[in-house]
A and B are shown apart, each in its own frame.
Chain A
Amino acid sequence: MKNILGKSNQRVLLLGNEAIIRGALEVGVDFVSTYPGTPASEIGDRFNEIVKSQPYIAKNLYFEFSVNEKVALEAGVGASYCGLKTLVAMKNFGLNVCQDALLPFVYTGSKGPTVIVVADDPSCHSSAQSEQNSRPTSYLAHLPTLEPSTPQECKDFIHLGFEISEKFKIPVMLRLTTRVAHQRAIVKLDKLVECKTKGKFIKDKNKFVTMPPRVLGMKEELLEKIEKIRDFSELSPINKISRGQASANLGIITSGVSYLYVVDALEELGLNLPVLKIGMFYPLLKKKIIKFIKPLKKVLIVEELEPWLEKEINVLAKNVNPKLKVFGKNILPITGELSPDIVLKAMAVFSNKKIKPLKENKVLIPKRYPQPCPGCPYWLAFNAVKQAVDTKKVVFGGDIGCYMLAGTPCIALQDYLSCMGSSIGIAHGIKKSSSQKLITFIGDSTFFHAGIPALINTVFNNSSPLIIVMDNQTTAMTGHQPNPGNKIKIEDIVKACGVKNLKVINPVKQKEMVETIKNFIKKDEVSVIISRSPCLFIK
């Protein structure tokens, strides 16, 4: 935190996520909301620490951990409508959760400038469920999107994001990936700016109410804005060309962290090719790309995951340079993150250069799976389940949190795993479709995030899963962020949802836990056990 709050002109080491925070403090952000999720978690963590420990910042800056990403974005929309400078942060899947609120927000546009930070996780280092590339959301929502490569750019692009949002009255997305969010590098600091505390909601039906037919007018205005932003992008240094030798008929177009691998590969191969680094992914500039590809014979698009830039450039090339050979995913993988080695190999193929084959230097070491910490109360809950039932005959539902480690071979109590809250929703579907017994695990934070509507559905539509709420009284997996559990009792919600079979048990009481599981799994209505014992790491 010392580095984030360093003095103006100082050069300090920051993670990409920390540079986001510094950037936001330098533009005088007023309102920040988030739901924790790796690789975006540190944004909320550090803001939380800052407002708790720095009274001169806390005086004016509002920060919250919201219940989920949709609520976080909606809170941000409200703040923006009141004219506040607003930042909302989440991991990739959070963008799916908040999409319902996102699209109309882009239609109405922002009043106070608003930046939404979204962190993708190529290679799924800290993500189950899917290797999501969030870029198509930019098209779906008409959401201007910036892609930084380094911590310095994280900070610079936050400035630019707020500038674009202020100028065009539209929210802007900053899309990170793990290797940007968790990249540590030197950042030059600028001045901190004080925020303004309170805003005011000034009634304006024409702006804030998406009732038809106004909503269609909003769409027209939005599409006009996007074209203006495209023009802005054409002139912005955010998309930069490094020239290379004049005679080169090969060129490279890249964005995000891939750019850094391209720079190293060019040096390694002794090449001096022109490189167009795209900083604004959406709306994508056209004139500069056309000018760049027109004299080329071959162009290589270096981007991670699905080839969205490549698709656009193929279309542009058809009109201006139909003979241009566009290389991309024919020599680069769609699955998994890129690396200096992968990019070097692809660039060698692209430029017909030979590289020394790497000496095979590998010892086969079996995978070391993560597992619950020694002494974690989850071990006790898993153990009780194994004693209470024949695990071969019961279906086990998993959800997102530390307890998804039930899916690792040494625990082996997870037969399906999908998105936040889905353990209960899918359990209902299975119980309605099959006569098998079923136990689902869901954590406290996940229960609040997206589990409650699914629980209500089991009561409303009569199904009988046994739900074990793994209540460790924190959001442990992402770094122990607080959740509503310290104000709102989960058992009160469960009762209010109409669940009759309910018990709160400390899993240390193994006998009670085993007996209750044996008893509840026989019921023909939904049952809930709240297995309550705090995470070892919370004070």
Chain B
Amino acid sequence: MKKKDFNIIIAGVGGQGIITLLKILSEAALIDGYDIKGSELHGLSQRGGSVLAHLRFGEKISSPLVSLGKADLIIALEMSEALRRICFSGDKTISLINSKFIHYFGGSSQKQVLAEIKKIKNKTYLVEASDICKQKIGKEVLAGVYLVCFAVLKGLIPLSQESILLAIEKTVRKKYLAINKKTFKLALKNI
């Protein structure tokens, strides 16, 4: 087991399935024998607003919130939301960003947002998760699961492939299990 805590920020827009991702990752961390703390928000923020979830795992975890600048990995399901959470990024933080743009009233343009993302100095993966899931599976909402699988398979999160698969089986409803597993395989093929 790795001694150091591993801190993940998951950012996106209400309705993108962020709580499901938090559940999958934390169940996988439990299987791998870590202590875990996560924090999520429900209610008002879910209605298409910005959503932020924290997950920390390691030998012994106290705070459920990740400190500013201390994220090991930022998973963003939307590009503006990736920028909004850049404050959690420190010297070694890796960003994994879905190249999806969801416009909103008063928000910056896709071009501006993309330009800002290009400026991120840390290691950044910009992945067309929404497009891939829409084309290959017909369900864009699986983009998050795709990114999580991508991160684990690429070694960006110290969790095992087997645990992620088991966690998916445990977390998602039976009728959606097949498409979630398909998403995992898709990520495996594309890394």
* Chain A positions near chain B (C-beta within 8 angstroms): 2, 11-13, 15, 38-39, 41-42, 125-127, 150, 178-179, 182-186, 257, 260-261, 263-264, 267, 339-341, 344, 358-359, 361-363, 365-373, 402, 405, 408-410, 477-479
Complex Cα spacing A373 to B49, Å: 10
Query: Is there contact, CB below 8 Å, between B48 and A38?
Result: no
Please choose the segment from B37-45, B126-134, B143-151, B152-160 that sits at the chain A interface, where 4 or more of its residues have CB less than 8 A away.
Answer: B37-45
Query: Is there contact, CB below 8 Å, between A263 and B63?
Result: yes
> What are 19 pairs between A and B in contact, CB < 8 Å?
A13-B36, A127-B44, A178-B41, A182-B42, A184-B23, A184-B26, A185-B37, A186-B30, A264-B63, A264-B67, A340-B65, A341-B67, A358-B68, A363-B83, A363-B84, A366-B106, A369-B104, A369-B106, A372-B48
Q: Any chain A CB within 8 A of the CB of B35?
A: yes
Q: Any chain A CB within 8 A of the CB of B108?
A: yes
Query: Is there contact, CB below 8 Å, between B42 and A38?
Result: yes
Nearest Cβ on chain A to B50's Cβ, whole angstroms:
5
Query: Is there contact, CB below 8 Å, between B64 and A183?
Result: yes
Chain B residues near A150 (CB, 8 Å)?
37
Nearest Cβ on chain A to B174's Cβ, whole angstroms:
12
**Chain A: CB-nearest residue to B122:** A361
Which residue in A38, A42, A185, A341 is a CB contact (below 8 Å) of B38? A185
Chain B residues near A365 (CB, 8 Å)?
80, 83-84, 107-108
Interface centre among B38, B47, B84 (most CB of A within 10 A): B47
Q: Any chain A CB within 8 A of the CB of B89?
A: yes
Query: Is there contact, CB below 8 Å, between A185 and B64?
Result: yes
Which residue in B23, B67, B89 is a CB contact (below 8 Å) of A340? B67
Known: A182-B39, A264-B67. 15 other contacts (CB 8 A): A2-B170, A41-B43, A150-B37, A179-B65, A182-B40, A186-B36, A260-B62, A260-B64, A344-B67, A365-B83, A368-B49, A370-B48, A371-B47, A372-B47, A410-B105
Nearest Cβ on chain A to B48's Cβ, whole angstroms:
5
Beyond A369-B105, A373-B15, whether A261 also contacts B63 by CB under 8 A is yes
Query: Is there contact, CB below 8 Å, between B47 and A125?
Result: no
Which residue in B37, B44, B105 is a CB contact (below 8 Å) of A477? B44
Query: Is there contact, CB below 8 Å, between B68 and A179?
Result: no
Query: Is there contact, CB below 8 Å, between A263 and B62?
Result: yes
Which residue in A2, A257, A479 is a CB contact (below 8 Å) of B42? A479
Nearest Cβ on chain B to A181's Cβ, whole angstroms:
9
Nearest Cβ on chain A to B66's Cβ, whole angstroms:
8
Query: Is there contact, CB below 8 Å, between A478 and B37?
Result: no
Q: Any chain A CB within 8 A of the CB of B14?
A: yes
Interface positions, chain B 76-111, Cβ under 8 Å from A, are: 80-81, 83-84, 86-87, 89-90, 104-108
Nearest Cβ on chain A to B86's Cβ, whole angstroms:
5
Complex Cα spacing A370 to B104, Å: 10
Complex Cα spacing A325 to B45, Å: 40
Nearest Cβ on chain B to A428's Cβ, whole angstroms:
27
Complex Cα spacing A341 to B63, Å: 11
Q: Any chain A CB within 8 A of the CB of B138?
A: no
Beyond A184-B26, A257-B64, whether A39 also contacts B86 by CB under 8 A is no
Complex Cα spacing A41 to B41, Å: 12
Chain B residues near A340 (CB, 8 Å)?
63, 65-67
Q: Interface digits, B21-60 against A, CB 8 Å rule (1 contact, 0 not)?
A: 0110011001000011111111111111110000000000
Chain A residues near B106 (CB, 8 Å)?
366-367, 369, 409-410
Q: Any chain A CB within 8 A of the CB of B13?
A: yes
Report the number of A-B residue pairs with Cβ-Cβ less than 8 Å: 149
Q: Lowest 3 CB-CB distances: which A-B pairs, in order?
A: A38-B43, A370-B49, A126-B43
**Chain B: CB-nearest residue to A362:** B87
Interface centre among B66, B87, B89 (most CB of A within 10 A): B87
Query: Is there contact, CB below 8 Å, between A38 and B30?
Result: no
Complex Cα spacing A402 to B12, Å: 20
Complex Cα spacing A261 to B66, Å: 10
Nearest Cβ on chain A to B57's Cβ, whole angstroms:
10
Query: Is there contact, CB below 8 Å, between B41 and A182?
Result: yes
Which residue in B37, B47, B80 is a CB contact (below 8 Å) of A402? B47
Complex Cα spacing A261 to B64, Å: 9
Query: Is there contact, CB below 8 Å, between B42 and A41?
Result: yes
Which residue in B48, B61, B89, B108 is a CB contact (below 8 Å) of A373? B48
Nearest Cβ on chain B to A121's Cβ, whole angstroms:
9
Which residue in A179, A366, A408 is a CB contact (below 8 Å) of B39? A179
Complex Cα spacing A15 to B15, Å: 20
**Chain A: CB-nearest residue to B69:** A358
Nearest Cβ on chain B to A348's Cβ, whole angstroms:
13
Chain A residues near B50 (CB, 8 Å)?
367-368
Nearest Cβ on chain B to A445's Cβ, whole angstroms:
14
Complex Cα spacing A179 to B39, Å: 7
Chain A residues near B86 (CB, 8 Å)?
361-363
Query: Is there contact, CB below 8 Å, between A183 and B41?
Result: no
**Chain B: CB-nearest residue to A45:** B42
**Chain A: CB-nearest residue to B66:** A340
Nearest Cβ on chain B to A48's Cβ, whole angstroms:
16
Complex Cα spacing A57 to B79, Å: 46
Q: Any chain A CB within 8 A of the CB of B162?
A: no
Chain B residues near A339 (CB, 8 Å)?
65, 67
**Chain B: CB-nearest residue to A338:** B65
Complex Cα spacing A42 to B106, Å: 32
Chain B residues near A261 (CB, 8 Å)?
62-63, 65
Which residue in B45, B65, B89, B107 is a CB contact (below 8 Å) of A366? B107
Which residue in A11, A13, A361, A368 is a CB contact (below 8 Å) of B107? A368
